[in-house]
């Protein structure tokens, strides 16, 4: 086979065989394809799409480009499960939900990603914590999951290495929105992690890669279909990304808000409801709880008893973070020197929010990447971000900008005023759950 011919074949919209796809994935993994060729392949897929059979073959080949974890030697007494979001703004759900699930008897080996496009990345958030290591060996990863119930790590060179390279190139090649590449990226990592149950959080709205409900539902259906063909029990929710779920956008700020949610000091209502909606379905899918109602009770007990907070603290320390991070987070998390409240021109209710612009504003502050190799400023972002329906006036800002430099703060202020619209009438509340794919009731564990 000749790689150039296979790329050209896909560019012309022809079907690739499983053997041809395996050959291409091997070329991506072993460096036989240049970055330009990988980008060309990604663009061809983005423009022409892939049949379901091609996607199954692509996902399988990407999974098998490295090791697939086997957990039998760890003798775990609970199910291996995970949740994955397709990308949002101010979405710190994983930081709150994973400890909640671990406190309910699950084991959560979460292989996460970095910021992609205008959306945030869980790994970038965690790296705001001094000493936190997202890169772990397979042995360290498995041991931490066994001991603490959860671990959030980046892909190692052994786990789905084809995806790790393709993921970075997709962002710079403007190929993020391809459904085929999104699902292959998600599932290859999850399958390589050896999990048994997966719940997808497919975002829809102006802050998501899927701007309308139909496309989001199609992606959710596609991923669950392919996951099941590859032996993974999977379901999905389509959730609203036309406003942020939390009051923060930015790495240190989101970590602090996650901690506040776990301690009970402050819990944004939409963030809590999303965590409960995802968590109750995962507990039922895995058989840890028999009904959604009982699952919700267990999740709230994990929060209110501080058991989830204990799991979070144990995860931070096991990954190299401070042992007293929970007690002294404010002294460890970097803080930007400039804090600028932004007020609406007229008092009124927040009518709508352009989350994509909020994500772009974080990049402008230095908290995101333009190039894959860019360093990010973990201290910058937005706090006290109002929700749709909030009444704002001279005493209630739209948000507070945290910036390194005054010119960055002023640019962010202008973009923020474009992104958040106010008016005299209070809008109807936005539903959080827009759709559901797959059954979330599994056998007893």
Catalytic residues: 82-85, 122, 170, 185, 189-190
Tokens 């929010």 appear where? 353
Yes or no: say if 173 and 42 are a contact pair by the CB < 8 Å rule. Answer: yes
- Write down the number of H helices and E strands in the chain: 17, 12
Calculate ∠ Cα 236-242-245, nearest 5°. 75
Q: Characterize the bridge pairing of strands 348-353 and 391-392.
A: antiparallel
Q: What backbone phi and psi angles, to 5 degrees, belong to 233?
A: -70, 120
DSSP code at position 403: E
Measured between alpha carbons, how far is 217 from 236 in angstroms, rounded to an integer? 9
DSSP code at position 288: S
Yes or no: say if 279 and 302 are a contact pair by the CB < 8 Å rule. Answer: no
Measured between alpha carbons, how far is 224 from 230 in angstroms, rounded to an integer? 10
If one counts every other C-beta atom within 10 angstroms of the C-beta of residue 352, the result is 15
Measured between alpha carbons, how far is 23 from 41 in angstroms, rounded to an integer? 13
Measured between alpha carbons, how far is 233 from 196 in angstroms, rounded to an integer? 6
* CA 432 centroid distance within chain: 16
Measured between alpha carbons, how far is 283 from 60 in angstroms, rounded to an integer? 27
By CB atoms closer than 10 A (0-12, 13-18, 19+), residue 139 is exposed
Could you tell me which residues come within 8 angstroms of residue 6 by beta carbon, excluding any fewer than 6 positions away? 16, 20, 23, 24
Tokens of 357: 């612009």
Q: What backbone phi and psi angles, to 5 degrees, belong to 236?
A: -150, 150
Could you tell me which residues come within 8 angstroms of residue 121 by beta carbon, excluding any fewer than 6 positions away? 112, 113, 114, 115
Tokens 């809008």 appear where? 427
**Phi-psi sector, 31: left (phi>0), alpha (psi -120 to 50), beta:** left
CA nearest to 285, candidates 134, 54, 110, 440: 440
Yes or no: say if 37 and 7 are a contact pair by the CB < 8 Å rule. Answer: yes
């Amino acid at each position: 086979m000749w790689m150039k011919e296979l790329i050209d074949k896909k560019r012309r919209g022809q079907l690739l065989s499983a053997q041809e796809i395996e050959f291409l994935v091997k070329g991506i993994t072993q460096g036989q394809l240049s970055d330009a060729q990988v980008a060309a392949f990604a663009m061809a897929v983005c423009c022409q799409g892939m049949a379901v059979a091609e996607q199954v073959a692509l996902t399988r080949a990407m999974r098998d480009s490295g090791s697939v974890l086997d957990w039998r030697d760890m003798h775990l007494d609970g199910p291996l499960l995970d949740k994955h979001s397709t990308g949002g703004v101010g979405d710190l759900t994983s930081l709150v939900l994973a400890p909640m699930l671990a406190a309910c008897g699950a084991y959560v080996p979460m292989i996460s990603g970095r910021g992609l496009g205008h959306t945030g990345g869980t790994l970038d958030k965690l790296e705001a914590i001094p000493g936190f290591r997202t890169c772990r060996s397979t042995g360290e990863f498995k041991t931490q999951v066994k001991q603490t119930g959860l671990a959030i790590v980046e892909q190692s060179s052994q786990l789905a290495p084809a995806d790790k390279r393709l993921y970075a190139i997709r962002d710079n090649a403007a190929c993020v929105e391809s459904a085929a590449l999104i699902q292959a990226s998600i599932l290859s990592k999850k399958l390589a992690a050896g999990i048994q149950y997966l719940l997808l959080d497919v975002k829809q709205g102006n802050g998501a890669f899927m701007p309308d409900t139909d496309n989001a539902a199609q992606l959710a259906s596609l991923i669950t279909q392919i996951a099941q063909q590859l032996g993974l029990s999977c379901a999905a929710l389509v959730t609203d990304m036309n406003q942020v779920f939390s009051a923060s956008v930015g790495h240190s700020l989101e970590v602090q808000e996650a901690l506040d949610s776990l301690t009970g000091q402050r819990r944004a209502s939409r963030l809590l409801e999303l965590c409960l909606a995802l968590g109750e379905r995962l507990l039922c899918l895995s058989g840890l709880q028999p009904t959604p109602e009982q699952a919700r009770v267990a999740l709230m007990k994990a929060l209110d008893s501080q058991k989830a907070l204990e799991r979070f603290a144990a995860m931070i320390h096991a990954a190299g973070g401070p042992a007293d991070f929970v007690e002294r987070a404010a002294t460890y998390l970097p803080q930007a020197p400039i804090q600028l409240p932004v007020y609406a021109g007229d008092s009124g209710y927040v009518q709508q929010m352009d989350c994509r612009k909020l994500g772009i504003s974080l990049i402008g502050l230095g908290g995101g990447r333009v190039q894959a190799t860019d360093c990010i400023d973990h201290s910058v972002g937005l706090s006290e971000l109002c929700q749709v329906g909030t009444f704002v006036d001279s005493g209630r800002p739209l948000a507070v900008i945290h910036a390194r430099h005054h010119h960055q703060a002023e640019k962010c202020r202008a973009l923020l005023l474009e992104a958040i619209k106010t008016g005299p009438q209070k809008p109807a509340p936005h539903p959080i759950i827009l759709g559901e794919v797959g059954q979330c009731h599994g056998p007893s564990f």
